[in-house]
Structure 1
């Protein structure tokens, strides 16, 4: 789900469960940690998740709401903020601190994906002819996201990486994201149990339905 080395190397993968990821592609990097902490406090406060994170490399919080598990299949929730990681706070809860692997790149566990140019709609994937600018943008994103632009090989337009969308829902970049472990929530796309999926989206703070949906599986 997370790239360690965008420059053509294999992504470092941390989990094999079916996951649904909601990515806020607009929130600024400086605001991501506060957003993740606010949602954590809300979800712990209303009994949705456990207060302590797992000890996995990719920290996640167990879902305590049995109705939510039954309705959606979601077993745990992960909260991501670029450049931060979770740890126990010594008081029975958790806190976000600087450091860790979070780089704001979310994709399938095998690292394959395709995205569309926001100007002309042409598809582009790593390894395609003309994809060098995409691969460079992935590398730039990790250090200077405001400078991560992709040149479309079809229309030659340079546009910010975060504006490129995946038609297969297998890629997005953003500094704040929520991972739902245990199911691909097709209801977020208007399929299957859309009511339960939409209710969960709202519980997670995405009231306008603006977060980009990414599905991942090993």
Structure 2
């Protein structure tokens, strides 16, 4: 299985808070809304998820396919596009409109995170010596993502923020992302190649290169 099912007697709240986020770190900001809309239409059309969010103004769409729930433990899905939000439409569905809080930063909000330099592989976390460049890059990303660069304190190389990867899978930036609510899908990291590939393909990650972030909603 792609996830570890909860043991009998495990608190359901713990599982409901677990989230797996797939982040496209390469897509351009201008293409993110189209990617999210395309996946929305496919998932709704295939009967995987509801056409309407759980609540007006919410980003979660309830999963309807019992087999999908059984195989993944995922009970709701959010589709994120930087600078956009979901709005109900007259056709009993939803569509993306400009505005909203989506900024393309995905991380654990209940703890810190660390990232690895793409050049020398040294790790860097907020609060570390030399992490001021990371703090500045995060601020710049929200307004001008193409200008968000981080200087590695170890090798002094400047690299684009989206190229830095998290060894603990607790951080990534990208303009399009998919949040899966209900479980930490550790199988996406390896060991369940067929199931992981099938799920990635179903979610539009045909190249299998979306970054994986584990968090709690």
Is the structural similarity TM-score above 0.5?
Answer: yes
Gaps of 5+ in 1: 1-15
Work out whether 1:84 is the aligned partner of 2:67: no
User: What corresponds to 1:30 in structure 2?
Assistant: 30
Gaps of 5+ in 2: 1-15
1:217, distance to aligned residue in structure 2 (A) = 1.8
SS at match of 2:87: strand
Paired with 2:72 and 2:193, the residues of 1 have a C-alpha distance of 10
SS at match of 2:212: strand
Paired with 1:114 and 1:101, the residues of 2 have a C-alpha distance of 23
State the superposition RMSD in angstroms: 1.4
Paired with 1:58 and 1:123, the residues of 2 have a C-alpha distance of 35
User: What corresponds to 1:200 in structure 2?
Assistant: 199
SS at match of 1:92: coil
Paired with 2:29 and 2:113, the residues of 1 have a C-alpha distance of 23
1:207, distance to aligned residue in structure 2 (A) = 1.5
1:111, distance to aligned residue in structure 2 (A) = 4.8
Relative to its length, the structure with more strand (as a share) is: 2
User: What corresponds to 1:12 in structure 2?
Assistant: none
User: What corresponds to 1:214 in structure 2?
Assistant: 213
Paired with 1:39 and 1:57, the residues of 2 have a C-alpha distance of 19
SS at match of 1:50: strand
Q: How many residue pairs end up in the alignment?
A: 202
Q: Does structure 1 conserve the Cα–Cα contact (< 8 Å) formed by 2:117 and 2:152?
A: yes
SS at match of 1:21: strand
1:134, distance to aligned residue in structure 2 (A) = 0.2
User: What corresponds to 1:189 in structure 2?
Assistant: 189
TM-score, length-scaled by structure 1? 0.89
1:196, distance to aligned residue in structure 2 (A) = 3.0
TM-score, length-scaled by structure 2? 0.90
Q: Does structure 2 conserve the Cα–Cα contact (< 8 Å) formed by 1:187 and 1:195?
A: no
